[in-house]
Structure 1
Amino acid sequence: MAIFRALHPLALLACLSAARVIDLEKDLGAKPEDASEATERFNGQKLNESFAQMQPGDRLLIPAKRFHVMGGIQARNLSDVVIQLDGTLVFSERTKDWPRTATGGVLACMRFENLVNVTFTSAGRGTLDGQGGAAWWGFIRYLVHEENRPRLWEMSQIKNVLVERLFLKNAPYWTTSFGGVDGLEIRESDILNERTKHKGHDVYNLGALNTDGWDISGTNVWVHHSKVWNQDDCFTVKGTSSNMLFENIEASGLGLTIGSEGGNDHVSNITFRNVYMDRTFKGIYMKFRDGTPEGQLTIIENITYENIYMKEPEQWAIWIGPAQQSDSREFWKGHPCSLLWPAVPGATCSAAQRGLYRNILIKNVTVDNPKNQPGVILADKAYPMQNLTFDGVKVINWKGNKKNLQYKICDGVDATAKAIGGTDPVPSCFPQAEAESSLLV
């Protein structure tokens, strides 16, 4: 797969004699180290003013101090600029005072639209702190806010953007949502959304619901040398997307994700490789949601996952099938697969209709001492998976009953599926497994 780099604006800026440095504190009067509501609003206003006045060649400097801000930071139509975050932007915990639309929807902490040749960087390790914690997280808070919680960082309609040396933490909702992308590089930038220091994903920590990591939709994307620890999808491809490479990364949460796709989306030419996953909840996670109209088809194709090591995954190491999620307060119901399946009797899990997986390669994947069975492979029988290959996909140090060393479900796979390279166990619905079974009769 080709590597797509965002053009680095710093090389361009060196040629621009009129470049300005705008210091958020010295030039605009932003106030550091003050968490009062008045200062949060004042600092947010100054940030918005700074973005509004930026011209090609400018650099906005946020110095190495803590600046408390209210959400609703917005910028549009920036080109050939640098935003240098050397300090920390700490977003307000005042949920009742959060800025909202006329219909009551909360605004994102930060939103950028229509960017061309823009760099987000830091001389050290710039931080965006969403202060999710007690303000926005937890099952009780979910019943109050549901999905109406601010995303930490939104970008839409962006071209040739570089994100480097940033740290994003404790997002109230999705950490990022980058859409309409054509040329994006993310490097040396990490995400951490955790409720405790427990290095796992127990029920309490999973209460940081919907804290997705890098969520990206578009084309020509390269994400590398970055880490995500969160309680939802870690590195995620969404919507109609193509030509993305995620490599040399670490992830622990709901995994390396494509989806939830539906409604005639088409995902193609995506690679995840060279990945370490420590006690992740899910590992490889491809999912369709319900809702593809009759007569249409949602497609995920030409996908590669390779060179992945999972240490003690806690739920499913490999999931290729329906989205295991809820989109309402009735979170115990499947949409299309229940979050409580299969642990709770009566919980259901069904294949999403009119979703097609084809040309999927899972290669050199080691699942070390999983707490559960290896995974789930489940597709609509009307559109079975085509050309699904497991090459060197192995479970090691299995502590359970040998009889249970098999995928929880394997259904909806056509005769082109194959397991090679010493794959163990071979999924039960693959032709080799059927042949081996007949030989034992």
Structure 2
Amino acid sequence: MRHSFISALIAVGSAVQAAAQLNGKVGPLTTPSAKAAIKTCNIVDYGAKANAKTDNGPAIQKAWNDCRTSGGEVYVPEGDYGLGTWVTLTSSKPMSFRLDGIIYRIGTDGGNMFMFKHLEDFEFYSSTSKGAIQGYGYEFHKKDEYGPRILRFADVKSFSIHDVALVDSPAFHFSIDTCSDGEVYNMAIHGGNRGGLDGIDVWGTNIHIHDVEVSNKDECVTVKNPSDHLLIENIFCNWSGGCAMGSLATDTDIHDIEYNNIYTQRSNQMYMFKSYGGSGTVNNVALKNFAGHSNAYTLDLDAQWSSMKPIAGDGILYTNMTFSGWSGTCADGHQRGPIKFNCPADVPCTDMQVDDFTVGSNKGDTVEHVCKNAYGSGACLKKGDGGAYTTTQTVDAASAATPTMDGEIENGLGLTISIAIPTIRPSFFPGVAAISPRMADASKAQATARVETSVPTEAETAADTSAVADVTAPINTSAASSTSAAVSEVTPVATSAASIDAPNSLLPEEHSTLETAVKASKTAKAAAPLRISSGNHPSPSQAPPLAIASIDAVKKSVMGCVGLMGMNNLLSTANNASMQLQRTIRSKYGERSRSPDNPSCGNFSKPFSTMFGPDWKEGHNMRRHNDPFEVSLPDDNTTALENICSIIHFQNDKIPWALAADKYNCLNALQFASKD
């Protein structure tokens, strides 16, 4: 039997550039499983008690201290755990904190319940998507008091936090302080209905925040000074203060900020810029695709914000900003019109652009747009770049239809009773799935999916010297399933002796279709027998099993990746016959590194095991960990793989690089090898 063997690396992980506003990789450098393989410190082994009234702070600190010297993972298993002593956790080694249980505040000190600082290569997550920290803030708020903040990251690099809930903080919920190269996603933050209970405050560089729900009466996801290259998208401000920038004072330095797909309902504002005097610059900001209803303010740039005392200085320069794709309603379009630019005459706002803005009002037939000393195009903005003026524009209140979200909160969460721990949502913007599946969903998909097909014998594999098949038949992406199957995680196959020519890479602009063709214009030379690398395992018999899949399974997997911006683990463990094939295939691969001039391309430079460790057997989300998979297809099915991606690089000792047709780069490499 003749087969063509296809190895692919799926890299939809946090360590890829997600959009133009980011300027490098985001997320941890190694997987939690790799860290756990070094050392796992279960807090129960250090004296923790699964009791919501016991102070487990000392046990958490002891577990961390034991792991921090070599690196590793601190594990909070399922159960209820009290916390009366706050913890400050630092390390110079790669660390992860796995919170599968629920931690309840029982102490009353101020400060931060959890402070993570001076870390690099760090991950805070729940493998069940049910981990949470319950702050019981109502115990303070009913007395009109504030207490500790729940969580703070300070000087943390190459990090992620995901699949956890922060609930009812006595003060701020989550502060990201002077951090870089991070990813925040799949979170639920529910706080009381009062100011001073911020959801996420972020100041730093190159951070991707997405798929987060916030309920409170203050900041939803807000940018502080200084910040640059932040991408914030798929945010649900569900009865909140709303997203914002500020408040800003002196020496402001904020640039390259993008918000996209922000849904806000019954909040103070969709977006507000807050300053009064001060100095510095806010430059190159894009606020795109904002939707919602019944908000007090909509777009409000107020450089003379009355809620703060004036700061020394002529004012902050706001320049080069775009506002596009806004829809929905404000509460009262005359009392607080949906557009307000209030800039000082001495430092006017310049290069503003408003486009596709259709926000109406819950009351009345018209709304007012007010522009003061703001220059650009659209709405009430004046052309030019200087001179004092004020304009009020009255426009029809008709608004674009805006879908609503499930679970919209109609009244603020209480200040006198406990707030329930929420479930993390699968979607945070109408009609848009979360970029990454919840970790619990990914684990479930891997545990249940099974794919079986024919497997060549070892003799057939070793004798195969066939050429690489051309791929000419396109995949109908509109009909492809978006449901990902599971996949076993194994080391990719290399064809070190093969030679192939490939067309130049063509990358479509839309992620929803794959229109580039992959064609092998020159047949491959016969390749020497190869064997699967067993990673950290010393013998081929212990190597991970090879996943064997039909073309339909591959199509579903790829479409699930592209359509949902994330792969659950694709194909589960194949049948035992695949072990015969493993013994004939082995190669050297290494960590994917990106060239600075083209973040979509790269090479392999480090041993495979240093990147993945034992993670291939853990079944973690492929988007998070860049896990590989391998499939074997009959020759007559390979033609259906056209339009997946374009091979852009191939040499005798390197893999062929390919680009996916979506901005999350979900398919990074596709390699063809042939054997009898």
Q: How far, CA to CA, are the matches of 1:156 and 1:20 in structure 2?
A: 24
The CA distance in 2 between the partners of 1:152 and 1:436, in whole Å, is: 43
Is 1:21 paired with 2:40?
yes
2:415 is the alignment partner of 1:412: no
Note if contact 1:226-1:249 (Cα within 8 Å) is conserved in structure 2. yes
Contact (CA 8 Å) 1:241, 1:268: kept in 2 or not?
yes
Task: Tell me the distance in 2 between the aligned counterparts of 1:59 and 1:214.
Answer: 25
Residue of 182, 185, 188 corresponding to 1:184: 182
TM-superposed deviation, 1:369 = 4.9
Q: CA deviation at 1:11?
A: 3.5
Change in 2 beyond 3 A, CA 1:289/1:111: farther
Q: Residues 257 and 275 from structure 1, CA distance in 2 versus in 1: closer, same or farther, beyond 3 angstroms? A: same
Contact in 2 for aligned 1:9/1:81 (Cα 8 Å): no
Percent of pairs with identical residues: 20
CA distance in structure 2 between the partners assigned to 1:284 and 1:436 by the alignment: 20
SS at match of 1:30: coil
The alignment status of 1:266 with 2:253, answered yes or no, reads: yes
1:67 to 72, 81, 88: 81
State the one-letter code of the partner of 1:127: A
Does the 8 Å CA contact 1:248/1:273 hold for their aligned counterparts?
Answer: yes
- 2:298 is the counterpart of 1:317: yes
Look up the SS of the partner of 1:48 in the other structure: helix
Q: Is the 8 A contact 1:310 1:317 kept in 2?
A: no
Ranges in structure 2 where 5+ consecutive residues have no aligned partner: 1-19, 394-676
**Residue in 1 that maps onto 2:202:** 216
SS at match of 1:112: strand
Instruction: Read off the aligned partner of 2:126 and give its amino acid letter.
Output: S
Matched, 1:241 2:195: no
CA contact (8 A) 2:371 2:391 kept: no
| Separation in 2, partners of 1:132, 1:260 | 24
Give the aligned partner of residue 11 of structure 1: 31
**Is the Cα–Cα contact under 8 Å of residues 371 and 392 in structure 2 kept in the other structure?**
no
CA-to-aligned-CA distance 1:139-187 (integer Å, 9 cap, x gap): x625xx5xxx422111111110011101111111111111121111011
How many residue pairs were aligned?
Answer: 363
Superimposed CA distance per residue, residues 19-54 of structure 1 (whole angstroms, 9 cap, x where no aligned partner): 1221112x112112242xxx22xx111112222222
AA aligned to 2:244 is T
Larger Rg over CA atoms: 2
2:38–2:72 Cα contact (<8 Å) kept: yes
Moved over 6 A (4+): 432-437
Corresponding position of 1:122: 126
Kept in 1, the 8 Å contact 2:173–2:198? The answer is: yes
1:223, distance to aligned residue in structure 2 (A)? 0.8
> Do the aligned partners of 1:317 and 1:367 also contact (CA within 8 Å) in 2?
no
Per the alignment, residue 77 of structure 1 pairs with 91
Match of 2:355 among 365, 369, 391: 391
Structure 1 residues 351 and 108, CA gap change in structure 2 (3 angstroms): same
Distance in 2, matches of 1:282 and 1:435, equals 21
Q: Paired residue for 1:154?
A: 152
Contact 1:111 1:154 in 2 (8 A): yes
How does the TM-score come out when normalised to structure 2? 0.50
Corresponding residue for residue 315 of structure 2: 354
Change (3 A) 1:17 1:242: closer
SS in 1 for 2:31: helix
User: Aligned to 2:46, what secondary structure does the other structure show?
Assistant: coil
Distance 1:401 1:17, change over 3 A: closer
Distance in 1 between residues matched to 2:317 and 2:249, nearest whole Å: 10
* SS of corresponding position for 2:91: strand
Distance 1:436 1:254 in 2: 26
Distance in 1, Cα, partners of 2:313 & 2:83: 42
Residues 398 and 351 of structure 1: CA distance in aligned 2, closer, same or farther (over 3 Å) = farther
Match of 1:45? 58
CA distance in 2 between counterparts of 1:172 and 1:70 reads 14
Per the TM alignment, residue 430 of structure 1 is displaced from its structure 2 partner at its CA by 3.2
Aligned to 2:263: 276
What amino acid is the match of 2:373?
G
Structure 1 unaligned residues grouped into runs of 5+: 99-105, 195-204, 327-333, 337-349, 420-425
Q: Tell me whether 63-72 or 53-62 shows the greater mean CA deviation.
A: 53-62
**Native 8 Å contact 1:119 1:161 kept in 2:** yes
SS at match of 1:141: coil
- Asked which structure has the greater RCO (Cα within 8 Å, sep 6+), the reply is 2
Return closer, same or farther for 1:187/1:5 CA change in 2, 3 Å cut-off.
Answer: farther
Question: CA contact under 8 A between 1:224 and 1:249: conserved in structure 2?
Answer: yes
